[in-house]
Amino acid sequence: MACASSVMASQTILETFLRDRLFDLVPSAIAVIDRTFSVVHANQTFQDLFGEWRGRHCFEVYKGLKRRCARCRAARTFIDGKLRTHAEVGLDCQGRVAHYVVHVAAVTQEDGSIPFLVEMSTDITRQSQLGEALSRANVLNRALVEASGDAILALDTKGRVTLCNPAAETLFGWTSAELAGRPPPAGLLPPDYAESLRRGNPMRVVPDMQVPRKGGGSVQVGFCGVPLSEGDRLIGSAAFFHDLTEVKQLEHEKLTAERLAAVGQTVAGLAHGVKNIMTGLEGGLYLMRSGLDRANDQRVREGFDMLGRNIGRVSSFVRTLLDFSRGRTPAVRLVNPVAMGEDAVALFRDAASRAGVSVRVEAENAVPPAAFDPEEMHTSLSNLVTNAIDACRSSEQADRQVVVSVREEPDPYPFRVPPAVPPTMVVFEVRDNGVGMEYEVQQKVFSNFFTTKGETGTGLGLLLTRKIVQEHGGTVAIESKPGSGTAIRLVFPRRRLPRVRDEGQAS
């Protein structure tokens, strides 16, 4: 008897725990409703979610309604006793929209009647909000991808196309159906793209590359590829292609317009240069005539010398003008940049030495060959060296010198460098310790017909130098200080140098 009483007591304690404690320990909101749809019992989680329930109907507590729901699943369960699970939208105790999943189970008596239902509700409001936000983000992202003017391909971890936007279909000629589920056609991605992803690189950029089109032909694009990850797990990649056709056309038209504008400015200024020369010719002719009339041989010789100087100036002026105005593509080939600097220096070293000016080449390390037009570059460097020597001749410093420095420097924009092109720049610097230039003069040295040499200069030398440098994709920079000298830098990023064709021409 004692043992039986002990067992019954344990069962009572267990039943009490299950009724009074476990009911509130369940993380879901639990409510018991009767056949009038009144809530007769609920746990604390239910009250925390939906608020006060005592003396209220379920449709009041769940949704704030005054009558039973039109499609009441509880009513159907009272009839057939089946377990039901469904999603609902109601109001929480603060009057905010709440999303929850309801499991409805019947409490069946021995005679088969169903006096009560147990409803267990799981709050999924946060998950629903996140799902809606994710859905909106997906719609927005899809719209952005579809409306993008750039071609976009998405790839899975095996390199197969999972997305192809309309711009990609237009650019490449393949439809989304033709590309989906397959690796992109050969040549569409950089050769090292897959390896770049495996190495974990955050981005692969190719500023200028040729990609194939369906049916033959190719198109020039800028490429950017980025990995797609979920946490630390790689799930694929996205490849972006920007059509450079119009950009390249605009660049070509811009260069052509700049050259034509420069030629137009030169022709406009030609009258001024010719006028000065004609004045000299007229002066020489006047001296000769007056000398002949007066039988003055000295005056005749002075007039003859003046004519000779101005005729020589006409010849030099016309040759320089023709060189400047000539529109041509640099005839590039792979040459040694240091050797080009040495050739320019060797041409003037002896004459400069006689004038008390030392000229030398400075090249600390070997510079790999680069694509230049050697004749054009010789013209540019010769112009700079002669100007530097003239500046030193006018200086009163004891140790007058001109240094031609040839070196290689890192490209400040390595992400723009195409594959197989070194991320470096070839730099030529011509510096002297001559008289230097005021700031105002520095701003005019590349202007048409500006010269500091009086009648001995045409004013086209540095303008021609800048033109040649620009044709090679380079830039010119000048630094000068009165009394200290001048340094002019010609900078050529290797990524912008003309390419060498098999026949040795630029492309």
Residue 215 has pLDDT above 50, yes or no: yes
Please determine, for residue 413, whether its predicted confidence score (pLDDT) is greater than 80. Answer: no
CATH number of the structural domain spanning residue 157: 3.30.450.20
Q: Where are the strands (E) in 213-290, listed by range?
A: 218-230, 233-243
State which residues form the domain around 93.
Answer: 9-128
Contact predicate 154/238, CB 8 Å:
yes
Regarding whether 433 and 318 lie in a shared domain, the answer is: no
User: Three-state secondary structure along 146-163?
Assistant: HHCCCEEEEECCCCCEEE
Strand blocks (E) in 71-191: 84-91, 97-107, 116-123, 151-155, 161-164
Q: Is residue 208 part of a domain?
A: yes
Cα first-last separation, the chain: 108
Tell me which residue of 384, 476, 397 sits closest to 431, measured CA to CA: 384
- How many distinct structural domains can be found in the chain? 4
Q: Are residues 163 and 287 located together in one domain of the fold?
A: no
- Are residues 87 and 28 part of one domain? yes
Q: Is residue 356 part of a domain?
A: yes
Q: Using the predicted structure, report yes or no on whether residue 465 has a pLDDT greater than 50.
A: yes
Query: Do both 322 and 356 map to the same domain?
Result: no
Q: What is the CATH number of the domain that holds 414?
A: 3.30.565.10
Based on the domain organization, do 376 and 505 belong to the same domain? Answer: yes
Among 243, 269, 286, identify where a domain stops. 243
Counting DSSP H helices and E strands in the chain, the numbers are 15, 17
What gap in Å lies between CA 207 and CA 185, rounded to an integer? 20
Does one domain contain both 335 and 474?
yes
Listed range (219-228, 293-302, 354-363, 408-417) with the worst mean pLDDT:
408-417
Q: With contact defined as beta carbons under 8 Å apart, do 166 and 152 qualify?
A: no
Clarify whether residues 159 and 262 are in a common domain.
no
Q: 3-class SS at 421?
A: coil
Residues 304 and 353 in one domain: no
- 357-362 and 400-410 beta bridge pairing: parallel
- The tens digit of pLDDT for each residue in 383-404 reads 899 889 988 988 888 889 999 9
| Contact residues for 344 (Cβ-Cβ < 8 A; gap 6+) | 378, 381, 382, 385, 404
- Is 259 inside any structural domain? yes
Cβ atoms of 108 and 114 closer than 8 Å: yes
Classify residue 177: in a domain, yes or no. Answer: yes
Q: Are residues 222 and 80 in the same domain?
A: no
Structure tokens belonging to residue 20: 């009074």
Gap between the Cα atoms of 121 and 29, Å rounded: 5
Cα 468 to Cα 472: distance, rounded to the nearest angstrom = 7
250-279 pLDDT, tens per residue?
A: 877 876 776 666 566 555 555 555 666 677
In-domain check, residue 3: no
Check whether residue 425 and residue 281 sit in a common domain. Answer: no
The answer as to whether 144 is a domain residue is no
User: Average pLDDT for residues 130-140, to the nearest whole number?
Assistant: 79
Position 167 pLDDT exceeds 70: yes
Q: Does the pLDDT of residue 33 top 80, yes or no?
A: yes
List phi, psi (to 5°) of 402: -125, 130
User: Do 460 and 369 share a structural domain?
Assistant: yes
Residue 133 lies in a domain: no
Residue 1: inside a domain: no
Q: Name 190's Cβ contacts closer than 8 Å, sequence gap at least 6.
A: 196, 204, 206, 209, 223, 225, 419
Pairwise CA distance, residues 59 & 279, whole Å: 108
